[in-house]
Structure 1
Amino acid sequence: MKKNIFLFLIAFTAQNFFSQEITFQKIYTGYYYGKNIAGIKSLNNGETYATIEPTGIAKYDYKTSTKSGNIADGNFESYEFSKDEAKILLQKESEQIYRHSFLGKFDVKDLKSGKTIQINNGNFIQEPSFSPNGTKVAFIMDNNLYYQDLNSEKITQITKDGSKNKILNGLADWVYEEEFGHAKQYEWDAAGNAIVFVKSDETEVPEMYIPIYGKQLYPSEMRYKYPKAGEKNSKVSAYLYQLDSQKTMMVNLGEFKNYYIPSVIRTAKADEIILITSLRTQNASDVLKVNTKTGIAKKLFTETDEKWIDTDNVTMEFLDDNSFIWGAERDGNRHLYWYNEDGSLKKQITKGDWEVTDYYGYNPKTEEVFIQTTEKGSINKVVSKVSLKTGKSQLLSKSEGNNSGDFSKNYNYFIETSSSAKMPYVYTLKDENGKTLKELRNNDEALKKIKADGFVEKEFFTIPNSVGDQMNAWIIKPKNFDKNKKYPVFMYQYSGPGSQTVANSWDYGNTVWFNMLAQKGYVIVCVDGRGTGYKGTKYKKSTYMNLGKYEIEDQITAAKWLGNQSYVDKSRIGIFGWSFGGYMASLAMTKGADVFKAGIAVAPVTNWRYYDSVYTERFLRTPQENPAGYDTNSPTEFAKMMKGNFLLIHGTADDNVHFQNSMEFSEALIQANKQFEFMAYPDKNHGIYGGFTRPQLYQKMTDFILEKL
């Protein structure tokens, strides 16, 4: 019997691999996977760089692009050099906690002596970082802050009140980590004599509990603090620890906007740290400078916006003279501004009807900043350099696609990582003027495989919405598309504030699956409506206080526009989304029930009252201030309008969008006497993966589409 099953699997695998079409077998065995270059970091000399390879941390020469050996031998997940590059911090293993946080085991290797020591005796820690002089490593264990002297190996405990679900020192709580984008909440000053850290008291934050089933007689529980919209958040405060005196003092923030402390940043000066603080409304942030000798905080300036500030997207880079570069959306697009050390504005660096999407650094010799922008169209991202004096810009990358740069410390070279909707990632070595020196790696083989199986490139176009905006869109048509036939349409979107799903970049994930659906006769379309990013703040912030209202109007408008095209069967339009996209798919099947025949909502928010405070209140304020903004855009309020075929999917251990959302929506649909399909994934989080989960999930969605659309 076992032999027969084995022979069947061999035959099944061979059949799937040799067929000239995209199959689940090929997608989930990595048949189309490409190659990358991991962990690129320039060394101080600007002429060599390091990468992560299976055998260790490798060293390469920019000029010749040849490998000169390993800096450290072994299998490492990440690394960090000390400022003088005399030592290297090596991450050997990890255990994920939430999206950004993890427990890790770390070693420090002295690159001169070759000696290796364990941090915290080889026990798990969080967020380690070198002191600027490279003699110490700070880290967090059990919510307390420590540092280890690398010469004596002595460990000093800075805080002692850390406690799970109560007090965190130097470490972000769940909502800070998820919405401000990082777990580390401390920083060394430039002299290495002091550490400024944030203490979060989450004692009064309501607790969320999630049953964990596993293979056990009685389920266990995961409990953590989760502030939902309008509820209590952690009480945050800032502290200064001075190493010489071993004294800790509170930084007085009473005069400033201090409800949130999203960022702690080192300046170029020996005895200063920047704290960025914010109102709960997130429409005003103070930029504060803390003197690490006295503990006194001084305000440099306040950033304000009539709607919100992206407190999760801070650009602040200090130059050698302690002037600094700051990113802001003041003129309708995200641009860079140059400030004096005292917080007075020197000038706006970049201008134009486009956005700065990333900041790479400043070359003091040429007085130029290196950035990524959308200056070649909102669906493209390019790399440029801009003169700090004249504002003159020079394009360094390809003018189309998604391009990013890893620059050498002397800015004589950079490694460009490029992709487009038709081309997987290519790694190219270029000089400071964008001249190609050598292609380091491409993914021609992966592209050849997927093209041989009938891959169809996305076509980009725009669709008008009801107020005259041209919404970015892409379409994937069946290989042998016939304009005289009528095709069913399957729409995909995310639609969340500042997001982008219509981008000229390579997307291995869903795009391959969409191509498989196209091979089965479906037209796949994606539309970025109001609220999405990279088209200016007016477009992005038009959904303020009414999250979901205009986004679903635009998806319905897009579906109706598609239905009027000669090649579309308007009676067979479906929609799919995950997380915010699942919220939108749920609204589409209720508010847009007369337009959409089928919908799939994965891990959806179904009422913003159930989601976290920082994200939700940024766009809606609190439920107490704006109850209509919460309830009138909730799918549960429109359950009685549900028509068509609806598949609801959620992981029971989702710590981000809680399973509660789908339970509440299910109950509303049940009480409205609506039939729908529901799939729960036991002990799976927001990503719904692990083992054979993803193939099973996507097979289920495929079967649903083939049957219902």
Structure 2
Amino acid sequence: MNYLSPLLTVLLVGRVLAQPSPPSVRKPADLPPTLTIEKIMQDPKRWIGTSPSNPFWSDDSQTLYFNWNPEKAKGDSLYKITLARDGKPGQPVKVAPAERRAVPPAAGAYNRARTQRLFEKQGDLFLIDVKTSRVRRLTNTVDTETDPQFSGDEQSVVFRRGGSNLFRMHLPTGELSQLTDFRQGNKKAEPKANDEEKFLKQDQLRMFEVLKERKDKRDEAERISKADRPKRPKEIYLEDRQLFNPQLSPNGRFVTYRLAKNPTAAKTAQVPNYVTESGYTEDIAARTKVGVPLAAQEFFVYDTQKDTVRAVSVKDIPGISDKPDYLRATASTSAGQPAVGTKRDSTRAGVAKADTTKKNTTRPVVVNGPVWSDDGKLCVVVVRSLDNKDRWLMRLDPETLKLTLLDRQRDEAWIGGPGMGFTYATGNMNFLSDNQTLWYQSEADGYSHIYTVNVLTGEKKQLTKGRFEVQQVILSKDKTHFFLQTNEVHPGEQHFYRMAVTGGPRVRLTTMTGANDVTLSPDETRLAIRYSSGNQPWELYLSEVNPTLLASRKSEAVPLVSARPAVKLTNSLTDEFKAYAWRDPALVTIPARDGQTIYGRIYKPANPNGKAVVFVHGAGYLQNAHKWWSQYFREYMFHNLLADKGYTVLDIDYRASAGYGRDWRTGIYRHMGGKDLDDHVDAARWLVQNHGVDAKRIGIYGGSYGGFITLMALFTQPDVFKAGAALRPVTDWAAYNHPYTANILNEPQSDSLAYRRSSPIYFADGLKGHLLICHGMVDVNVHYQDVVRLAQRLIELRKENWELASYPVEDHGFVEPTSWMDEYKRILKLFEEKL
């Protein structure tokens, strides 16, 4: 801040009084604060404030806990707000250390009546009575106990000890029983006698009566001892496999579990760390790369009644041998491809060919679950193909191991979307109160919606429908209603609803425009809402569910429920941050060349200078054109700074962004830098046509996936974007990880065409504009090696219009304010000088 001397102030004021000023001129004290890189990139908790996070309720629904840091300490602390008898909230109070240590965590398992809850804390197990808040410690051991669940009859708690074996504790008596005996390694086999040894032993027993009598006595003693010995669980040797998710059936008879055998010698990348306490370069073990062999998976059922262990066969699952379409496509296009050049659609010769003569083979799959009905009579597992193109919901008969198909979702791109889980998870699903109907989420109609299937009859029903996504689902405690979060009002809004489990009208429980991230109280009467708008960070609010309106407005499609407006509970922002008039970016729609609609948000300057900057969000599958506070808050502040300087700033939810359904999500299948880059090119041209932007003065920047798009833009669309900043960019998708990349581009050894046309390093010769690359050197996600390889490529291509800024102590997400400052000073300098 600039301070004027008293004398100079008097002189200036006198001059103003002597010469009348236009109405638009303001006194210096009235001028808004000026944004600088140093200001917006400093420690956010000190100059912005810290928003409340991780809210959770006490079991009696009377106290709301959350993490907060209004005092700008080094770390967040636990706070609480207690409700008065009339339901009104008190003031936030910092929880004292002794009380904090005694607060039960939010995670845990309720009994069916929801009168008791089991939870784990610091490796021990506890039981809390919901009505009285009385806590009973169940274990106090050196071993770690986890994953406590009520048994089917709710008389026992079933849990894991030491990460593997299942135990059962009878709650009335405290009796502890071991249910499984998983053991590492192989069973030591008794040495087998050869034929000569067998003959000699038998001959001795025939010849000497005393030996025979002694042996008979030993055998009888062993038989009696074995009969008197309590029954122990079967010894199950894991050999060289890993154990996952052992579960006991509600009736206590079956134990299900999954074993995974890792492939041999899967090479792991090492990231060198140069700035270390030791003074020596130290390697950080990072990850494998895409295309690495995956672990072989098997699913087992241990029948404790029959003392048998059997693997579930998946060979007869419908479609288990279906090959993906891309193998046929690569087979037909592999011959005669041109070498990689500067054009965007160029490919490299020698694309992997599909072996069409090979017989159908069972695709590798993973079996997840199971999900049991409350009465323990029905069991459902989720089977996912490891190529992630199929998801089967199957009924499993644990006694016969028979699998029966309930639902199959096939996607020639990849299975995904809200509530769908991932390869090693079931996704959102559970049984309703009839113990026959399973609810689940599916993208069968192109958007993630709720479905039900009767496990006995196979009858299916779609409960929600429309061009929107169901993003979160909570089944009510009495299993009569769902609580949902959807974006049906607008793709850039999130609201909370209540809907009967049979479907029908949805009753909206939130009213504020933006994002309403709801934590429902255990008694389901109150909503703790983390809310934010486009230019206001997250704060905590409290609202109530009105049962009268719930009953009276069932006929309306989307009625409002809360009669009282939500009450704001926290005020987190600093006066310095609030002093600036932060823009609320306007949400716009942009026509794409293929007829689709691109959603974006635009920052309009008061005095446009003809320049524009397009920001590319990261992660690919992420949403940023919305009406709530962006997770890219530093970039948001930078865009305000640019707008103050006259730039028009636009960021869009390009193809593959979250929030727009299956077709938008998979629009980049087999070609990253295809439709997603087209969307940015179309957006840039839209700026020229509609907002007075000079077509020769457009820049682009972004981090991670945004850095990748920036590279593809400068390398393949050099006449559209004059300058760009690629932050921590992927330069070659064959160097990235398997779970993310293989879904979109398949594997490099079987679909090299997809990798060649999607990787910027093969198009570097097209660089014409000005390129800034910034990358952390200890990035364990997108490795620094990516930009080192690209730098060498640019050197060999004799390119001179680029620079690389390296950050020795930064991972993928920068932490140090000085790193943020340095990076964004360089970005600003690039746009100021080159646009």
Which TM-score band (shorter chain)?
0.7 to 0.9
Q: Normalising to structure 1: TM-score of the pair?
A: 0.80
1:356 to 462, 470, 492: 470
Instruction: Provide the residue aligned with 1:51 in structure 2.
Output: 65
Partner of 1:315: 428
Q: Which residue of structure 1 lines up, in the alignment, with residue 107 of structure 2?
A: 80
Structure 1 residue 692: deviation in Å? 5.4
SS at match of 1:135: strand
Q: Is the 8 A contact 2:108 2:148 kept in 1?
A: no
Q: Which runs of 5+ in 2 are unaligned?
A: 1-30, 68-76, 187-237, 321-362, 551-560
Kept after mapping to 1: 8 A contact 2:601/2:625 = yes
Compare 664-673 and 293-302 and name the one that shifted more: 293-302
Give 1:526 shift: 0.2
1:629-644 aligned at under 5 Å gives the runs: 629-644=754-769
Letter in 1 for 2:526: Y
* Alpha-carbon shift at residue 204 of structure 1 (Å): 2.9
| Matching residue of 1:283 | 389
CA separation in 1, counterparts of 2:618 and 2:53? 31
Higher deviation after alignment, 688-697 or 510-519 = 688-697
State the distance in 2 between where 1:602 and 1:286 align. 39
Residue type of the alignment partner of 1:206: A
Q: Which has the higher strand share?
A: 1
8 A contact 1:490–1:525 mirrored in 2 = yes
Q: Which moved more, 1:200-209 or 1:592-601?
A: 200-209
Figure out how many residues of one structure are paired with residues of the other and give that number.
653
Question: Counterpart of 2:728?
Answer: 603
More off after superposition, 585-594 vs 215-224: 215-224
1:374-389 equivalence runs, <5 A:
374-389=487-502
Counterpart among 749, 752, 758 of residue 627 in structure 1? 752
Separation (CA, whole Å) in 2 of partners of 1:240 and 1:61: 51
Note closer, same or farther for the CA distance 1:90–1:647 as it changes in structure 2 (3 Å cut).
farther
| Aligned counterpart, 1:196 | 256
| Cα RMSD (Å) | 4.0
The 2-side partners of 1:359 and 1:318 are apart by 13
The 3-state SS of whatever aligns with 2:278 is coil
SS at match of 1:73: helix
Alignment equivalent of 1:135, drawn from 131, 154, 157: 157
Q: Do the aligned partners of 1:358 and 1:372 also contact (CA within 8 Å) in 2?
A: yes
**2:293 is aligned with what amino acid?**
K
Instruction: Give yes or no for the alignment of 1:345 onto 2:459.
Output: yes
Change (3 A) 1:438 1:351: closer
C-alpha distance in structure 1 between counterparts of 2:429 and 2:739, whole Å: 21
Instruction: Supply the AA of the counterpart residue of 2:281.
Output: P
* Structure 1: segments with no counterpart, 5+ residues: 1-17, 92-104, 171-184
Change (3 A) 1:660 1:363: same
Shift of 1:487: 3.7
Alpha-carbon shift at residue 342 of structure 1 (Å): 3.0
Q: How far has the Cα of 1:350 moved from its partner? A: 1.0
Could you say if the C-alpha distance between residues 263 and 653 of structure 1 is closer, same or farther in structure 2, counting changes exceeding 3 Å? Answer: farther
Offset at 1:506?
Answer: 1.1
- Secondary structure at the counterpart of residue 667 of structure 2: helix
Q: Pick from 350, 360, 364: which aligns with 1:259?
A: 364
Does the C-alpha gap of structure 1 residues 210 and 391 become closer, same or farther in structure 2, counting only changes over 3 Å? same
In the alignment, the residues of structure 2 paired with residue 117 and residue 691 of structure 1 have an alpha-carbon distance, to the nearest angstrom, of 46
Specify the code of the residue in structure 2 equivalent to 1:453.
Y
From the superposition, tell whether residues 273 and 492 of structure 1 become closer, same or farther in structure 2 (CA, over 3 Å): farther
Match of 1:467 in 2: 594
Secondary structure (helix, strand or coil) at the match of 1:514 reads helix
* Whole-angstrom CA distance in 2 between matches of 1:282 and 1:656: 22
Paired with 2:251 and 2:126, the residues of 1 have a C-alpha distance of 22
Q: Distance in 2 between matches of 1:77 and 1:592?
A: 56
Can you list the C-alpha shifts for 1:238-292, whole angstroms capped at 9, x where unaligned? Answer: 2346789998654443434563437435333354654322223322212234455
- Write the distance in 1 (CA, Å) between the matches of 2:740 and 2:368: 16
Distance in 1, matches of 2:797 and 2:833, equals 24
Q: 1:688 to 1:445 in 2, by over 3 A?
A: closer
Query: Using a 3 Å threshold, how does the CA distance of structure 1 residues 589 and 139 change in structure 2: closer, same or farther?
Result: farther
Return the alpha-carbon distance in structure 2 between the equivalents of residues 154 and 699 of structure 1: 64
**Per-residue deviation, residues 473-515 of structure 1 (Å, max 9, x unmatched):** 111234xx12xx4242221123765432211111234323332
- 1:40 and 1:79 mapped to 2: Cα distance? 6
* Counterparts of 2:457 and 2:779, CA distance in 1: 42
Distance 2:394 2:84 in 1: 41
Tell me the distance in 1 between the aligned counterparts of 2:308 and 2:821. Answer: 55
The corresponding residue for 1:207 is 267
Measure, in 2, the Cα distance between the counterparts of 1:364 and 1:115.
Answer: 25
Deviation at 1:631, TM superposition (A): 0.5
Q: What is the aligned counterpart of 1:678 among 804, 808, 817?
A: 804
For 2:614, give the aligned amino acid: M
Question: Structure 2 counterpart of 1:20, which letter?
Answer: P
Q: Per-residue deviation at 1:590?
A: 0.7
Q: Superposed, which structure 2 residues align to 1:466-545 within 5 Å?
A: 466-478=593-605, 481-482=606-607, 485-494=608-617, 498-507=621-630, 508-545=633-670
Question: Counterparts of 2:807 and 2:304 in 1: how far apart (Å)?
Answer: 49
SS at match of 2:622: coil
After superposition, give the CA deviation of every residue in 1:50-102 in whole Å (9 maximum; x if it has no partner): 534545888757961557998982258954234246566465xxxxxxxxxxx
Asked if 1 retains the 8 angstrom alpha-carbon contact of 2:49 and 2:572, the reply is: no
CA change 1:699–1:109 in 2 (3 A) is: farther
* Worse-matched range after superposition: 271-280 or 453-462: 271-280
- Looking at structure 2, the residues matched to 186 and 440 of structure 1 have their Cα atoms a distance apart, in angstroms, of 44
Aligned residue in 1 for 2:695: 570
Pair 1:50–1:280, CA change in 2 (3 A): same
- SS in structure 1 of the partner of residue 678 of structure 2: helix
The answer to whether structure 1 residue 453 and structure 2 residue 580 are counterparts is: yes
Matching of residues 12-27 of structure 1 within 5 Å: 20-23=33-36, 24-25=38-39, 27=42
Cα deviation digits, residues 621-676 of structure 1 (max 9, x gap): 33344322211122111101112222223333433333332233222222211232
Letter in 1 for 2:533: S
Is the partner of 2:747 in helix, strand or coil? coil
Cα distance change, pair 247–648 in 1 and its aligned pair in 2 (3 A): farther
The 1:613–1:689 alpha-carbon spacing in structure 2 relative to 1, beyond 3 Å, is: same
| Superposition deviation, residue 575 in structure 1 | 1.4
Letter in 2 for 1:161: Q
Displacement of 1:435 in angstroms is 0.9
Give CA deviations for 1:25-44 in whole Å, capped at 9, x if unaligned: 4652422224325332473x
Amino acid at match of 2:65: T
Alpha carbons of structure 1 residues 567 and 25: separation in structure 2 relative to 1, 3 Å: same
Residue of structure 1 in register with 2:680 after alignment: 555
SS at match of 1:571: coil
Report whether the alignment pairs 1:228 with 2:302.
no
Secondary structure in 2 aligned to 1:570? Answer: coil
Indicate conservation of the 8 Å contact 1:529/1:555, yes or no. Answer: yes
1:413 to 526, 546, 550: 526
1:394 Cα offset (Å): 2.5
Distance 1:83 1:566, change over 3 A: closer
Equivalence for 1:40: 56
- The range that moved more, 615-624 or 669-678, is 615-624
In structure 2, what is the Cα distance between the partners aligned to 1:684 and 1:161?
A: 39
Q: How far off is 1:340 after superposition? A: 1.0
Cα deviation per residue 1:88-147 (whole Å; 9 max; x = unaligned)?
A: 6465xxxxxxxxxxxxx4444454675657776277x9x745455573442665xx5666
Question: Which shifted more, 245-254 or 545-554?
Answer: 245-254
CA deviations 1:342-385 (Å, max 9, x no partner) are: 372331111222222221224757x4322122221222222223
Change in 2 beyond 3 A, CA 1:641/1:296:
same
The answer (yes or no) to whether the contact 1:533–1:540 under 8 Å persists in 2 is yes
Cα gap change, 1:22 to 1:319, in 2 (>3 Å): farther
Percent of residue pairs bearing the same amino acid type: 20
Between the aligned partners of 2:284 and 2:165, the Cα distance in structure 1 is 24
CA apart distance, 1:606: 1.8
| Contact 1:495–1:529 (CA under 8 A) maintained in structure 2 | no
Say if 1:579 and 1:657, in contact at 8 Å, map to a contact too. yes
